[in-house]
Amino acid sequence: MAVLVEPGRIELREEVRAAPRAGELLVRVRAALTDGTDLKTYRRGHPQMPTPTRFGHEFSGDVAAVGEGVSEFASGDPVMCVHTAPCRACFWCAQAEEELCERLMSTMVLGAYADYVTLPRAVVEQNCFHKPAGISYREAAFLEPLSCVVHSVEMVRQRGSVAIVGDGAFGLLHALVLRERGIDAILVGRRAERLESARSYGFDPVDARATDAAAAVRERTGGRGADAVIECTGTQSAWEETPSLVRRGGTVSLFGGLAAGSRVAFDAARLHYDEVRVVSPFHFTPRAVRSARNLLVERRIDVTPLITHAYPLHEIADAFARLDAGEGMKACIEP
Ligand SMILES: [Zn+2]
Ligand SMILES: [Zn+2]
């Protein structure tokens, strides 16, 4: 199992494989993806994950052992899941705002960069599914990031025209989910390699290094600006830039989280006199997980080109070193 000993240093350690308790599943990991949160944690640590910590949270695999009382799954079953599940008892769960469940973060599963991972009862009962043979373990591992994106897209109600700031994996996943719903999003990016992969998906991205992004978006939206703009970079400068791309009365969605304590500045007149709505989607609900599962299982979107590198577990340090150097989009660790 891979342990992030301190920012920038990953070590492989022997894992003690515990038998699953009642309601739990032990899963042999087959594919575990990297995402922006993992890279941020690798670079500077994470408040929810004090080091040394296991990490990795986007994965799929095979059931290796079944806890007492689990009837839905058997040893050997290929499964796909997300790493959290709501408690179904708190104030937020009662409002169907399960993404804000007060127990979500304290019960999440971390440590997918390992041979085995244990799923708690809540995940087994609510957010774990059989993986059909028609999709690969790599595709199945997209269930978690795709659930975030489905939740995000559902928080934006106005979407005649949508601009997406950020050409990374989350930007592209947003564009793919929107396209599946009949909306051709305007992707705004600044990295040659990523703009190229957006083009290979058939998008016509705005290269913000070469053109004024706000002017380019206005030009493609009848001079008004986009109905909605979704920020997918998690940088302060992009947050602050986002309102300049939206039309009067449109929606700004701040999807990419910033570190606690970050401050951002917006032009108050733009927000108030132009009635710009601001939403800030976080995480996902079990409903979003189900929609994301259907998108993958019915192969309505093709996620595999987002994986640019694959490594065995013992090369995980190289995987993060390359991502840290700005290479590639998502790496797949295959223990
Ligand atoms: Zn709850
Ligand atoms: Zn993720």
Cis peptide bond upstream of 7, omega within 30: no
Q: Judge contact between 27 and 79, C-beta under 8 A.
A: yes
Distance 221 CA to ligand 2 centre (A): 32
Distance 131 CA to ligand 1 centre (A): 26
| CA angle centred on 164, ends 158 and 168, rounded to 5° | 145
Task: Give me the sign of the Cα torsion angle 224, 170, 308, 304.
Answer: negative
Distance 83 CA to ligand 2 centre (A): 9
- CA 54 to each of CA 44, 63, 139, 142: distance values in angstroms, whole numbers, following the listed order: 15, 20, 23, 20
Distance 270 CA to ligand 1 centre (A): 36
Q: Does the pLDDT value for residue 146 go beyond 90?
A: yes
- State if pTM tops 0.95: yes
Using CA atoms, how far apart are residues 91 and 96, in angstroms rounded to an integer? Answer: 9
Q: What is the DSSP string of 290-318?
A: HHHHHHHHTT-S--GGGEEEEEEGGGHHH
Using CA atoms, how far apart are residues 11 and 315, in angstroms rounded to an integer? Answer: 10
pLDDT tens, position by position, 155-196: 998 889 999 999 999 999 999 999 999 998 999 999 999 999
Q: Tell the burial category of 191 from Cβ atoms under 10 Å away from its Cβ (0-12, 13-18, 19+).
A: middle
Q: Does the pLDDT value for residue 260 go beyond 90?
A: no
**Protein fold of 2-142+303-334:** Quinone Oxidoreductase; Chain A, domain 1 (3.90.180)
Ligand lying closest to the C-alpha of residue 98: 1
- CA 36 to each of CA 56, 151, 227, 257: distance values in angstroms, whole numbers, following the listed order: 11, 17, 26, 10
Q: If pLDDT is split at 50, 70 and 90, which confidence band does 268 have? A: very high
Task: Please give the single-letter amino acid code of residue 272.
Answer: H
| Average pLDDT across the chain, whole number | 95
Distance 102 CA to ligand 1 centre (A): 5
**Protein fold of 149-279:** Rossmann fold (3.40.50)
CATH 3.90.180.10 residue spans of the chain: 2-142+303-334
Q: Does the pLDDT value for residue 33 go beyond 90?
A: yes
- For residues 84-97, give the mean pLDDT: 97
Ligand lying closest to the C-alpha of residue 105: 1
pLDDT of residue 111: 94
Using CA atoms, how far apart are residues 156 and 252, in angstroms rounded to an integer? Answer: 8
Ligand lying closest to the C-alpha of residue 34: 2
Using CA atoms, how far apart are residues 182 and 204, in angstroms rounded to an integer? Answer: 16
CATH 3.40.50.720 residue spans of the chain: 149-279
Distance 198 CA to ligand 1 centre (A): 37
